[in-house]
Amino acid sequence: MIEHVDIVCGLAWGDEAKGKITSELSAKENYDFVCRWSGGNNAGHTVYISGKQYKTHMIPTGVFYGIKSIIGPACVVDPFSFLEEIAYLEKNGFDTSCIKISPKAHIVTQTHIREDREQYHKQLGTTARGIAPCYRDKAARKGCQAKDESLLAPYLWDEKLYGRILCEGAQGAWLDLDYGNYPYVTSSVTLPYGACSLGFPPQAIRNIYGSAKIYDTRSGIDPDFPESLLADKQLLKIADAGCEYGVTTGRRRKVKWLNLHKLIDAVNLTGSTHIIISKTDVIKSTGVFKIWDSHLIPFESIDDMLSYIDVRLRSSCSLIKSIRFSYSPERI
């Protein structure tokens, strides 16, 4: 029997410190499962355990705490990348026996990766991990499922979830296949309702933790993030202070001022109840305090800026229970 489900989702274009939130919740909330519901190794999470940094791309954060970590049926799995990640975790002393894959997840093949690298990567700025071609073949009913891949046989898990569940999102709301700036989107559902594909009803959802940054960033190609952003000295200062490079690709992210309208829309679209806004320490260190709210608004201090954001979010988003501004890359 499922007791309750909590979900961590991104409120922007990915890279919003979801891994940090999932890690802290995993450490404190006594979950029975931590589950990934969409995407593949085109995502990346950075977590800190006892002060040491670890990076994952496909495997849920529960593995760092010995919690059953499930890769769900709506995910796509590159077997070779997955096994490399298993070896990385084992080398660092973590027990990987808790990691399981739905037999219904689809397999990313080397053909998918080649096609992505030669076509989609150049046109749309994908991560060239074969994700889009794999989802296309799944929709065309000609994909290969994990149950048919012998390399993954030791990790297959076709049971039902129970107890307390944490769902770990990949990418962010504005990369969603339906709601993002199409076609500059990912190939799967990034919004919290997609987590129900793991096998629970919407009524089981308790809290939705929405993750954002105090400024906006974007990897890859998107007309809403033009190349000219890379010439803005203040934004470059923020990018350098925030070490804005992709976990998966190493690409430099483009930085913009926080678009408060987009954030409010994302909070309401996802139904987020708990908002965590990270990189507050970064923006504080730069001494540049600006956001976009119909027009560019400068602030005299970090406190004035955070107070404005807090008031606007609470007045515009009725489901919010708490808002937290994080000053640490390691903690909420």
User: Which residues are catalytic, by number?
Assistant: 15, 45
What is the secondary structure of 258-272 as a DSSP string? EEHHHHHHHHHHHT-
Please name every residue paired with 322 in a beta bridge, in sequence order, or none if there are none.
274
Q: What are phi and psi of 270, to 5 degrees?
A: -85, -15
Dihedral sign for Cα atoms in the order 166, 169, 172, 175 = negative
Helix 302-316 × helix 260-270 angle, to 10° = 40
94: Cβ contacts below 8 Å, ≥ 6 apart: 63, 64
C-beta of residue 246 within 8 angstroms of C-beta of residue 254: no
Assigned token pair, 188:
């799967």
Q: Is the peptide bond before 60 cis (omega within 30 degrees of 0)?
A: no
290 vs 61: CA distance, rounded Å:
33
C-beta of residue 222 within 8 angstroms of C-beta of residue 184: yes
259 vs 248: CA distance, rounded Å:
25
Long-range contacts of 90-93 (CB under 8 A, 24+ apart): 92/54
7 vs 5: CA distance, rounded Å:
7
